[in-house]
Structure 1
Amino acid sequence: MKKLSSVFGALLFLVVLGILGFISWQSPSYKGEINLSGLENEVEIYFDTYGVPHIYAQNEADAYRALGYVHAKERLFQLEMMRRVGSGTLAEFLGPDLLEIDQFFHTLGIPKHAKESTEAFLAQGDTQWKSAADAYVAGVNEFIEKGQLPVEYLLLGEKPRVYTLEDMHSILGYMSFTFAMGLKTDPLVTKMARELGPDYLASLSVQTLPEHHVIPNHYPDSLKTENLLVTSELTALLEKLPVPLLEGSNAWVISGSRTKSGQVLFNNDTHIGFSSPSVWFEAHLEYPGFSFYGNHLAGIPFGLVGHSRHHSVGLTMFENDDQDFFEEKLNPSNPNEILIGEQAFPITSRKEIIQVKDQEPVEFEVRETVHGPIMNPVVKEIAALTQNPVSSWWIYILEPSKAMEALYQINHAETMQQVADAAALIHAPGLNIMYGDKAGNIAWWAAAKLPIRAEKVHSKIFADGSDPDSQPKGWYPFTENPQSINPASGFVASANNQPDTTRSGIFFPGYYYPGERWNRIAKTITSREDWDLESIQDLQLESLNELAPQNAKFLISQIDQRQFDGNSELLDDLANWDGKHQVNLSPPTLYYKWLYHTLRLAMEDELGNEGFEAYLQTFMMIRSTRHFLTHEENRWWDNRSTDPLESRSEIISEALKISLEELTKQFGNNSKDWEWEKAVTIEHPHPLGAQKPLDKLFNVRTEAVEANEEAVNKLAFKLNGEGIYKVTSGPAMRIILDFADVEGSVSVLPTGNSGNRFSKHYADQKELYVNGKYRPQLMNEETIKEKSKNKLVLLP
């Protein structure tokens, strides 16, 4: 036995030694010297306490080559996933389960558009942004060729192919699609309109309602851009995506008139689907004439969010409606043509070949009309609605993207006018560009090409493709776009809500949120005039939703409380709830369960289970709830499958009864034990984490957070009947910058700056994030070099 124990002990030692050796082999090094081909001069990279690289170069090309190398070193597998989504090549890498997604993206036209955008990018010649992008690509490929590949490739038995400018534009296409709400919403709204009629739609917020909060515009005469009026001739599927969706955001910029320092105070927290690694990669670049601290997407050389020493730029989703669907009329004498009025137009087609791992390639046909690709074959919701072809008219694929040029110009801008000019280059997706600078300017621009639609067109219901009057009429000039420059209010803010009417009086349609976050931001900012970096943190971390307790009180008003005598204390707590979502409270636990069953009992008989679940995942649910509950003519309350005419009170009472029974089974008889933290889970999933037990290795879990529907610190989840709410998205960073001390700005990421599972920076910020803490965004060269224990030197 002793001998057996000794053998077992030796084997165990060897296994542990092997694991430790493997981890050591896979762990990225943050110090030493590496020869990097193509460099002109030596580049020094200092990694700070949280693994943020501070790159010091002698010229622009070397700086971006170094960024490409270190970005691939830390985020190569994330880059791989994002480029394969945008290029429609997931099945080649991950297998046949992803074939449908590839077919969807090819049909939508993103890979084709990436190719066209790359050709247009190259046709511009040797621009500064092309030279920088080329250097970045070369750095990425240097790591692919010579670096230690992350363990995901080993597990999949794959190797990365060479990175290209077309891949870069594919990643931009992926990002643009994740912002597009039309495919997730318009088929459902069309179904409601056709099967239920206008009376049912009247109880929803398909368009912005008067009680919603809008962003005020302030148009200056001093900032102008040359952009003239021109003319221009899912849900289950998306859950398979191995990359997160970009979903929302907050940003506000406060002028010096409202700050303690008298300087601009800048804030941004982009709301993105949780993932491991999180979306943003932070990097700080320094070379003669340039100093910039940026938040980068994997594979993109220029920061989408970031700051220099004299300006800061952030973003939120504009949520404008930039995608229409046209139900076509086939020519009776030629099924390969559609009719618009009396004129026939051809249906063109192209063959797409998708490589599939361990299988034969799959060839399929994409058919297109003058309006765009026909979506019926790849979107089941559309196929179920009509047998007629339905074409997707999406602004993003109508012209090559100039996003790379715009981002370069924004990063390198020296004036507010230059940022405005760069914003005008962005045609899609719609972005709110937020701006502040050392000179005291604050600004917001809605960056997008806004189409001129005929008055008869309802932008969220399929249009009659055969009606000549339903065709898009052209574009509004950029100077008409919603914007606010140095308003008298002393702040600009955006929270994915509806902007006020444009300069010419257009209330542009979109998929906007109701503005509860914006209202809290606006009310809070205007309550004082001494804001600083510390005091503004309370607003950025706030989990208060003022509308939720109003809804709760209304629900209570609709029931006979005598029927629920045994739960009077619980209902009293809910009636007195202030809308905060601290994890030790019980009112949120009851409120969301009760709201779910109320909506389900009211809507599932009309929409079916799948339709109702789809509704819960649209912007409409959040911005319709108050109106839905209080609208006196709401026809949804009646259960169409029963003879009696059900009332609102009956449905709400039944929903409460079900909720109490389920919560008792779930958490016990004592409602004091129904704390919100017991109903909330949070996990940052990795693409390979769906395969057990790899979830234990790659996914990042944290303690419960103050999950909420629409607070400033939005930690979102999907309503469901299980009563366990998985937080799926939230702030992907929390940035605060006071221009009185640019080098003292702060931020935090949900997990860490590295995507390498064996890096110490894979999840070293998760506790900071959950506990509402921040860490510095270092820019002071002396501090960085003095405190950094990790220096990597890149040699020519």
Structure 2
Amino acid sequence: MALLFRWLMRLAAGLIALVVASVALIYYLAGQSLPDYDQTVDVQGLSAPVEIVRDNANVPHIFGANDPDTYFGLGYAHAQDRLWQMTIFRRTVQGRLSEVFGERTVRIDRLLRRLDLYRLAQQSVSVQTDYTQAALQAYSAGVNARLAEINEEALGRGAPEMFLFNAPVAPWQPADSIAIIKLMSLQLSGHLEEEVLRARTSLMLNDSKKLIDILPDTPGTGIAALPEYAMIFPEAPRFAQSIPMPSDPLSPFPARGLAGASNAWTAAPSRSASGGTLLANDPHLGFNAPTTWYLARLELSKGGVIGASIPGLPAILTGRSDRLGWGVTSSYADDQDLFIERLNPENPEEYLTPDGYKTFETRPAIIEIKDARPITLTLRWTENGPVLPGSHYSLSTITPPGHLVALGWSALSPKDTTLSAALDLMQSKSVREAIAIGEGFISPSLNLSLADKTDIGMKLVGAVPRRDARHQSKGRLPSQGWRIANRWQGRAPYAANPQFVSPRGGLLGNTNNKLIERPFPNHVSYIWGDSQRIQRWQRLMQSRQVHTRDSFIEAQLDPVSSTARSLLPLIGADLWFTGEAAPEGTPARQRQIALALLADWNGEMNEHLPEPLIYAAWIRALQQRLVADELGPLAEEFKHVEPLFIERVYRNVDGAASWCNVRHSAAEETCTEMARLALDDALIWISERYGTALESLRWGDAHQATHDHLTLGKVPVLRYFVNIRQSTSGGDNTLQRGRTSGEDPFPFQNVHGAGYRGVYDFADPNSSVFISSTGQSGHFLSRYYDDLAQLWRRGEYIPMSLDTNLARAAAVGITTLTPKN
């Protein structure tokens, strides 16, 4: 027995030693790719030495003898910290993920190949300005210099992910950077999905008036009635099963409601306590680790610029110089249309045009797949754009027999000068100069918020399609591609894009709200990203005569939901303080406790409070009950609460209260009954997940920010090291926006929000503050992988100054790049 025990002990010790040795080996190999920030490196492609001074937040301050050398330094710094992220961005837009990840990403690659974004990016290189082409060449050389260093010095393949996935890294090319801009456009575009959903909903509802309830127009005047989709295409299938888009974390196709958002506001000197202009910006994207944003400072020939870049792009996309600040928000301009193309019944290789049948433009494409046979696609284009298969975006559910669907989209331009405009913007000296430069932006379409030393402005930039006033559906539904009136007529004049400069009130802002009301076809959009946050912004801005940097920060971090304040009195009007006393532990008693808590609540979506969770669960359950009967399986597409829909129902606007009645039951249900039943649903759901002690609930337990690693985030054990989860305040409709997933079993996870925040005061530009939601490094063993995450969660910021001495005084390392002989 003693002998057996000794051998078991030896075996256990051996296994422990083996595990420790394996962990040590993995740590050693992964650690080899941690960059050394304090060294001198000889590189090819420079004309003179470049210094990369990293401050105590690991923000690189890059000093070159000329602009190309500075862009070289940015490329090198991006590759030091975010090489894996850059290669994933590039593979995604190229449609080459399956070479690394196998069959799980084939659907993603199929659609990216059909959109052909990378080829369009290659064609766009030649139309860039000479300055931009030089910047692209220098930036690419900087990335490739880091790749050469990794290969020559055996630096752990450049990133720990490279050991887990066989992903050879090709040299960086100028087209790669332009392609990443097009990938951004894809992530920020949502009109395609809205057109499909509107068509499907139109086909499903028996009463066409209800379409306005469930897909309401943003408040305003002048929106004309639309035809039912069945009137345009009577042969369209009415009850086809939807085909969901890929849900893989690597998918760049945003779910409905997650196609971009953001906040930006500016104050003129007359509304600023310091006497200088103010600008605040927090662009919203899907959360991941590392975040999409990368903080950097570039010292250019016309002065320094500092702010947020995206790895792969040689530009500060939101930030400031010493003369100008700029911020971006999604404009929601309608830059996508779906065209139903009629096939020639005698020849399926032809489609109908205004001039008769025409042959598709075709090209083969091969998708290589890891551990599987390659797939050959035939890419087809019509005069309206690329043909999309019915298996994507549930297009088969709205496509009549004998037809196909093509996509018109501004991002499909082979002459995309967006990057040139972005580089020119960094060197602008004034609001008006920046607005003039904005004409070069093609896609994505953005609202550009601007502040110089004395003035403020906002301009919608990006190509807005010019449509015929006789368009069948006004761009809101898929339309007949062979009709001239439905086709695009080029780009609308840039001067027609909404513009606001030097407002009399001294304040400008955008929360993706409706900018302007103009009749079609000058309308800009019928779909806007916000009808709620703007109300809270107006209240906060007008509550002060003058503003400060701190009041702008307060607005960025404001967690109060005007939506909750307006909806709760409506849906609970007949429930507050009513009903008989109920015994402890009964559903009726739980309902009374919940209503009592909500009655005293001010709408603050604070992570430490129970009321936000009760409210969110109640309103979600209520919408599910209202739409399930009318929409059937299609109700699953409405994952997020639409406040305007709830308000229309409970105010009975144009008879919208009929949604409360269940058509398939004999009784006639009232809206009060539906509210009570939904509250019971919510309380049961809460009790099953968080317990029955309602006073002890925490919104932050359900509303966790999910900064998950795109490729390692689901790997057992490893996910606990690479994912960053944080309890957060805010919600779908607060200025501190934390968009919830809407997906079971964790519908309130915070998946989309401000990955970057910046506030600039031009009375003292060096007092400007910035923050990103994770850290600068993409290497999970780096101390800079998540060092900014807790600051971000707590609403804190870091200073980022253009003062060279301050950067050097707090430097954690200085990398000197010197030209090789």
Same fold per superposition (TM over 0.5): yes
Number of the residue aligned with 1:162: 171
**Distance change >3 Å, CA 472–CA 206, structure 1 → 2:** farther
1:317 pairs with one of 330, 351, 359: 330
Cα displacement string for residues 406-430 of structure 1 (whole angstroms, at most 9, x for unaligned residues): 0110011123333112211112221
Structure 1: distance between partners of 2:192 and 2:520: 29
The aligned residue for residue 352 of structure 2 is 339
Aligned residues: 766
Q: Which moved more, 1:498-507 or 1:661-670?
A: 498-507
1:788 aligns with 2:811: yes
Counterpart in 1 of 2:230? none
> Offset of 1:524 from its aligned partner?
1.7
Residue of structure 2 equivalent to 1:684: 707
Which of 243, 248, 266 aligns to 1:253? It is: 266
Contact 2:308 2:316 in 1 (8 A): yes
User: In the alignment, which residue of structure 1 is the partner of 2:229?
Assistant: none
> C-alpha distance in 1, partners of 2:746/2:650?
21
Quote the offset at 1:67 in angstroms: 1.1
Deviation per CA, 1:204-252, whole angstroms, max 9, x where unpaired?
A: 344322399xxxxxxxxxxxxxxxxxxxxx7531544256966210001
More deviation, 329-338/76-85? 329-338
Q: CA separation in 2, counterparts of 1:177 and 1:625?
A: 30
**CA spacing shift, 1:15–1:407, aligned 2, 3 Å:** same
Determine whether 1:630 maps to 2:651: yes
Alignment of 1:496-575 (within 5 A): 496-501=512-517, 506-559=522-575, 561-562=578-579, 564=588, 567-575=591-599
Q: Is the 8 A contact 1:589 1:674 kept in 2?
A: yes
CA distance, structure 1, for counterparts of residue 494 and residue 247 of structure 2? 32
Deviations 1:351-393 (A, max 9, x none): 2111212333210122222222222344151112223212211
The whole-number CA distance in structure 2 between the counterparts of 1:517 and 1:780 is: 36
1:412 maps to a residue whose letter is Q
Q: Of 428, 435, 440, which aligns to 1:420?
A: 435
* Residue 139 (structure 1) aligned to one of 112, 119, 142: 142
List gaps (5 residues or longer) in structure 1. 213-233
CA contact (8 A) 1:47 1:790 kept: yes
Query: Given that residues 203 and 631 in structure 1 are in contact (C-alpha distance below 8 angstroms), is that contact kept between their aligned partners in structure 2?
Result: no
- Aligned pairs (5 A) from 1:281-292: 281-292=294-305
Q: Residue in 2 aligned with 1:429?
A: 444
Q: 1:93 to 1:86 in 2, by over 3 A?
A: same
What secondary structure is seen at the aligned counterpart in 2 of 1:73?
Answer: helix
Matching of residues 371-770 of structure 1 within 5 Å: 371-379=384-392, 381-386=394-399, 387=401, 388-438=403-453, 440-453=454-467, 454-455=469-470, 456-501=472-517, 506-559=522-575, 561-562=578-579, 564=588, 567-609=591-633, 611-616=634-639, 621=642, 623-632=644-653, 633-634=655-656, 635-688=658-711, 689-702=713-726, 704-719=727-742, 722=745, 725-770=748-793
Say whether the 8 Å CA contact 1:204–1:627 is kept in structure 2. no
Q: Give the aligned residue type for 2:444.
A: P
Summarize deviations over 1:597-644 as a string: whole Å, max 9, x none.
Answer: 2111221233334x3232225xx8355443344334224334344454
**What's the C-alpha RMSD, in Å, of the aligned pairs?**
2.6
Bigger mean CA offset, 469-478 vs 37-46: 469-478
Residue in structure 1 matched with residue 64 of structure 2 by the alignment: 57
Deviations 1:156-175 (A, max 9, x none): 13321111122212211110
Shift of the 643–10 alpha-carbon distance from structure 1 to 2, 3 Å rule, reads: closer
2:371 to 358, 362, 366: 358
Pairwise CA distance, 1:444? 0.4
Which shows bigger deviation, 377-386 or 546-555?
Answer: 377-386
Change (3 A) 1:616 1:261: same
Q: Kindly, what percent of the aligned residue pairs are identical?
A: 25
Equivalent position of 2:232 in the other structure: none
SS of structure 1 residue aligned to 2:440: coil
**Kept in 1: contact 2:331–2:445 (CA 8 A):** yes
Cα displacement string for residues 33-62 of structure 1 (whole angstroms, at most 9, x for unaligned residues): 111112121212111111001112211121
Query: In structure 2, how many angstroms separate the alpha carbons of the residues matched to 1:56 and 1:342?
Result: 58
2:96 maps to: 89
From 130, 133, 151, the equivalent of 2:133 is: 130
**Is contact 1:315-1:434 (8 Å) kept?**
yes
Question: 1:107, 1:502 → 2: CA distance?
Answer: 34
1:469/1:795 CA distance change after superposition, 3 Å: closer
1:98 alignment counterpart: 105
Aligned to 2:198: 189
TM-superposition CA deviations, 1:64-115 (whole Å, max 9, x none): 1111111111111111111111111111122121111111112223233223
SS in 2 for 1:319: coil
- Is the 1:244–1:274 Cα contact (8 Å) retained in structure 2? no
**Contact 1:556 1:575 survives alignment (8 Å):** no
- In structure 2, relative to structure 1, the CA distance for the partners of 1:628 and 1:334 (3 Å cut) is farther
TM (normalized to structure 1)?
Answer: 0.91
What is residue 584 of structure 2 aligned with on the other side? none
Question: Could you say what secondary structure the match of 1:132 adopts?
Answer: helix
Change beyond 3 A, Cα 1:762–1:15: same
